[in-house]
Amino acid sequence: MRILTVLEFLQSRDAISGQELADHLEVSLRTVQRYIVRLQDLGVPVDSTRGPGGSYRLRTGYRMPPVMFGLEEAYAVALGLDALSYVGMADMAPQAESARAKLGRVLPSAASERVAAIRAAMVLERPRRVVDANAVQLMELAVATTTCHRVRMDYRARDGKRTKRTVEPLGVMQYEGRWFLGAKCLLRKGLRSFRVDRIENLETTDERFEPPPAFDLRAYIHRSLAHAGDRWRVEVWVDLDSEEVAWRLPPAFAQLHEEDGGTVIRCGSSWLPGTALHLLSLGAEVRIRRPWELREAFAEVALRSGRIAAGGQERS
């Protein structure tokens, strides 16, 4: 969004200094220089003059072409703007409103009225478990991932402890209402996942890195969440193939490994009765390897089920 704002300033003026851009965007001169380089990488001809009175200007004769939307395209844009809060980017509401206003100005009145009518008739309900992330941080992490630049950040763990990290970002992913960063952490000397809403004081450095070949962000985030800080380490065997188990369980519930004609399920658990219910939903034979307390959890589930089946009242 800020890079596009820089482009708007360049189109609206004959020339503008780096300091003026920095003041308008509330960023450093160095950040402005990165934005200019990014525009140039995208093929926008930005010329600069150095020294006192130096400035940036678009090459003479260059203007962004007008954008034309069909009705379905306009609706797709409008719905996407409405859905930002659904995916944990509610802090972009002012920018979304500005973009929606611009869309309304370029659409013919008939199309604008139809888009407005469709939006009014459809309701997007924000999921209860969504945790909003800083949209600017998300974009900076995405750019650093693409350009292979290390980032520095302060990270607040679940227990509130803060650490300073330098990481090599490998991608950001939204899962179950939260945004996660997959990265190689130089402090821990290995791959780690980070909640983006717990990242503070993010800064992209000039240090480059080489990403690991064929890194699968989705698989890594699912794998890391399967054991994320839970009290219990669960391991069971079930008489289903791994493909069937993966289809029946949530994506980040567990790690799966085929063994002896069935599948070994390894996961973390903070509440064993809930894990027992997930395993029961497989409709398969379950052999518990660890922990022993999981047997007690199955017994507790069975006792509650028996009381309900007998018509008794279960206390909340």
- pLDDT tens string 138-151: 999 999 999 999 99
- pLDDT tens string 229-244: 567 889 999 999 999 9
What's the pLDDT band for 1 if we cut at 50, 70, 90? low
* Residue 138 burial (10 A CB sphere; 0-12, 13-18, 19+): buried
* pTM as predicted: 0.62
- For residue 294, what are its two tokens? 């999981």
Do 81 and 26 sit in the same domain of this protein?
no
Nearest to 170 by CA among 121, 117, 224: 224
The pLDDT, as a whole number, for residue 65 is 59
The pLDDT, as a whole number, for residue 201 is 92
Do 6 and 51 sit in the same domain of this protein?
yes
CATH number at residue 194: 2.30.30
How high does pLDDT run on average in the chain?
A: 86
CA distance 187 to 197: 20
In a domain, 157, yes or no: yes
- For residue 106, what are its two tokens? 């370029």
Structural domain of 284: 226-309
Q: Which of 55-69, 233-247, 278-292 has the lowest mean pLDDT?
A: 55-69
The pLDDT, as a whole number, for residue 252 is 80
In a domain, 63, yes or no: no
Do 147 and 191 sit in the same domain of this protein?
yes
The total number of structural domains that make up the chain: 4
- DSSP single-letter state for residue 115: H
Do 190 and 243 sit in the same domain of this protein?
no
Each residue of 190-227: b (16+ CB within 10 Å) or e? ebbbbbbbbbeebebeeeebeeeeeeebeebbbbbbbb
Res. 315: pLDDT tops 60: no
CA distance 216 to 173: 11
In a domain, 316, yes or no: no
Q: Tokens 């069975």 — which residue? A: 302
Among 212, 234, 265, where does a domain finish?
A: 212
Do 230 and 304 sit in the same domain of this protein?
yes
* Residue 118 burial (10 A CB sphere; 0-12, 13-18, 19+): middle
How large is the average pLDDT for residues 248-261?
87
Coil, strand or helix at 256: strand
Q: How many CA atoms lie within 13 A of 216 on its CB side?
A: 6
In a domain, 23, yes or no: yes
The pLDDT, as a whole number, for residue 217 is 94
- pLDDT tens string 95-141: 888 888 877 777 777 778 888 888 888 887 777 778 888 888 999 99
Beta bridge partners, 183, equal 169, 192
Do 276 and 238 sit in the same domain of this protein?
yes
The pLDDT, as a whole number, for residue 238 is 95
Task: Judge contact between 171 and 145, C-beta under 8 A.
Answer: yes
Q: Tokens 């611009």 — which residue? A: 102
In a domain, 127, yes or no: no
Do 116 and 139 sit in the same domain of this protein?
no
Do 242 and 302 sit in the same domain of this protein?
yes
In a domain, 66, yes or no: no
What's the pLDDT band for 54 if we cut at 50, 70, 90? confident
264 versus 32: which is more confidently predicted? 264
Do 17 and 39 sit in the same domain of this protein?
yes
CA distance 196 to 131: 10
Query: Which parts of the chain fold into alpha helices (H)?
Result: 2-12, 18-25, 29-41, 71-82, 93-106, 109-121, 135-147, 217-225, 242-248, 272-280, 293-309
Residue 66 — φ and ψ, nearest 5°? -65, 145
Task: Judge contact between 92 and 135, C-beta under 8 A.
Answer: yes
